[in-house]
Amino acid sequence: MQSGSQGFLSADRSKPKKKRVLIVEDNHLDSALFSALLESQGHEVLKAANAADGLKLARENDPDLIIMDVRLPDMSGFEATRTLKNEEATRDIPIIVTSAYGPYADKAEVRECGCDAYMPTPIQITGFVDLIHTFLNRHPARKTG
């Protein structure tokens, strides 16, 4: 038995809410991979390839989540994260800091910068998708208008 309106409503409810994610990453392959995975989940993606552009986009676009690389050309991602976590307008945006294994995966620095999670690269795709869902689903839905 078909019920047009009920079928429509349940299909509509099952769609993920579109969220806005800012990727601050100077590695084009990583940036393209994160972006493709987020867009495949229906999210809007903003991209910056350095910290200055990342800070600007974060302040101007109120993203629901930020993925922040540690090694950026102009500033460390830890410092950029601290900056955003110290500003009233941006401190509640969840930030996932990401980095290749190595000296930048320093646990004390990860804790100290105030980020919400640390994700080593190369990423595991299912782990990445689970992690972003954790943050995007607990963050309140965007207000429209």
Contacts with Mn ion, residue ranges (CB under 5 A): 26-27, 69, 71
Count of other CB atoms within 10 angstroms of residue 34? 25
Enter the tokens of residue 64. Answer: 């629901």
What are the distances in angstroms from CA 107 to CA 49, 55, 57, 84, 97?
24, 23, 27, 19, 11
Q: Which is nearer to Mn ion, 71 or 139 (CB)?
A: 71
Q: How far is the CB of 134 from Mn ion (least distance, A)?
A: 24
Closer residue to Mn ion, CB minimum distance, 27 or 41: 27
Q: Which is nearer to Mn ion, 19 or 98 (CB)?
A: 98
Please state the closest distance from residue 71 (CB atom) to Mn ion, in A.
4
Q: Which among 131, 128, 136 has a CA at the least distance from the CA of 64? A: 136
In whole angstroms, the minimum distance from the beta carbon of 32 to Mn ion comes to 13
Q: Report CA Rg, the chain.
A: 16
Rounding to the nearest 10 degrees, give the CA dihedral for residues 125, 119, 114, 24.
-70
Q: Which residue's C-beta sits nearest to Mn ion?
A: 71
Least CB distance from residue 53 to Mn ion, whole Å? 13
Query: Which residue's CB is nearer to Mn ion, number 41 or number 52?
Result: 52
